[in-house]
Structure 1
Amino acid sequence: MRKLHLDTLKYGLPGITKTVGQFLWEAAVVCLEGNGHRPGARLNVFGEHETAFELEWSALEDENALRFWSDNNESVEYGATAIAVLVIMELTSFSNFQKLPQNESADYLILSKKNIREKAYLEISGIWVESPQNSINMRVNKKLKRLLKNNQRGIENFVVVTEFGTPKSKISRR
């Protein structure tokens, strides 16, 4: 099984500074550990790609982080971003992330590492623990509708929704 190293975020990525990467890493670790997962947990990925990753991360050593991330909605938003960025980098040719303003077409514009002209929109969402009223499929469909409604440029769209209870991620591409 392939490994997905969350600590990679702490060193920065194209379009993501070290500081932002650390912030995203911390949120993801809080979400995973808050759901009882430890390093070595399996992340199942389905939808556009069917695979699994063994998640690896270093220990969260600052107790202040748990107090800071006490709002599950916020930790899930940024934790899901951490997972989505790494999964997109592992499974596609996209590797550069440009955060878009709120109310723009999507959360991110992503650029290909192979062809700078190849770009796509990325919409991200997260769920602490899935329920019948709040499932991955419901969230993916909602995000796709938003993307397709707002995308007048014919640019490709990705949606990545991560659920931390299992954990699992669904990737949809249109």
Structure 2
Amino acid sequence: MTIFTLEELKDTITLFSATEADFWSENSIVALEHNNHQSGCILKVYGDQVDEIGLKWTKTVVKNGYKEEKKFIEKSAEAISFFLTRHFTEFNVIEEACIGTGVDYWLGYDDKHQKYNPKNFLTARLEISGINIETLSNSLEKRVKVKMMQTVPSDDTALPAYISIVEHSTPKAHFSKK
């Protein structure tokens, strides 16, 4: 079974600062513990592939700065989605996308990959969403449909788009290519 150690995110997305990666990792720990999960819980993944992934952490997070559920759920979904991107694709998260592009992040090959091209390094798109507790009106399936449509503004790039939705109460995720 694959294990994602949340504190190792800074080693996974090397084009972002370690401080930012640690912030995303802390948000994941807060979101999972908010839903009474402990280190070693299993993330069930659906979408293009089905998998079970262990989520581990050792850090104790001081939660005084993590009171707004919507914020820590979204940042947690980003962190877990970054791990899923590295696990299910050959891409890495390259940079944050600007509002209006219909996606959250641009993906590409890192400089160690044989297909890396420094003149054309953005090769895919990533749209992410987080759900705390899935409901009938806010399910993974419904959110996937919404996020697929949301990527339309950057469809003219002809780059593949990946959709990653992370639900924290189970926990489970949907990861697929548009």
TM-score, normalized by the shorter chain, greater than 0.5? yes
CA deviation vs aligned residue, 1:69-102 (integer Å, no higher than 9, x gap): 1111000110000000011111210123310112
Please say which of residues 67-76 and 8-17 is displaced more in the overlay.
Answer: 8-17
- What is the rounded CA distance, in whole Å, between the counterparts of 1:102 and 1:69 in structure 2? 24
Contact 2:10 2:16 in 1 (8 A): no
Q: Does residue 1:112 correspond to 2:109, yes or no?
A: yes
Superposed, which structure 2 residues align to 1:48-59 within 5 Å?
Answer: 48-59=48-59
Contact 2:82 2:93 in 1 (8 A): no
Identity value in percent: 26
Question: What 5-or-longer segments of structure 1 have no aligned partner?
Answer: none
**What SS does structure 2 have at the residue aligned with 1:53?**
strand
Q: Does residue 1:87 correspond to 2:84, yes or no?
A: yes
TM-score w.r.t. the length of structure 2 is 0.90
- Which residue number corresponds to residue 39 of structure 1? 39
- Which residue number corresponds to residue 16 of structure 1? 16
TM-score w.r.t. the length of structure 1 is 0.92
- Spell out structure 1 runs of 4+ moving beyond 6 A: none
Please say which of residues 163-172 and 98-107 is displaced more in the overlay.
Answer: 98-107
Contact 1:12 1:20 in 2 (8 A): no
CA deviation vs aligned residue, 1:92-126 (integer Å, no higher than 9, x gap): 10123310112223100000243225711000000
Superposed, which structure 2 residues align to 1:115-126 within 5 Å?
Answer: 115-117=115-117, 119-126=123-130
Q: Does residue 1:74 correspond to 2:71, yes or no?
A: yes
C-alpha displacement at 1:129, in angstroms?
A: 0.7
Q: Does residue 1:101 correspond to 2:98, yes or no?
A: yes
**What SS does structure 1 have at the residue aligned with 2:3?**
strand
- What is the rounded CA distance, in whole Å, between the counterparts of 2:43 and 2:137 in structure 1? 22
**What SS does structure 1 have at the residue aligned with 2:151?**
helix
Contact 1:106 1:122 in 2 (8 A): yes
- What is the rounded CA distance, in whole Å, between the counterparts of 1:74 and 1:52 in structure 2? 25
CA deviation vs aligned residue, 1:32-76 (integer Å, no higher than 9, x gap): 000000011000111012111111111324x2xx12111110001
Please say which of residues 10-19 and 146-155 is displaced more in the overlay.
Answer: 10-19
- Which residue number corresponds to residue 141 of structure 1? 145
**What SS does structure 2 have at the residue aligned with 1:49?**
coil
- What is the rounded CA distance, in whole Å, between the counterparts of 1:33 and 1:101 in structure 2? 31
- What is the rounded CA distance, in whole Å, between the counterparts of 1:59 and 1:109 in structure 2? 29
**CA-atom RMSD in angstroms:** 1.5
Question: What 5-or-longer segments of structure 2 have no aligned partner?
Answer: none
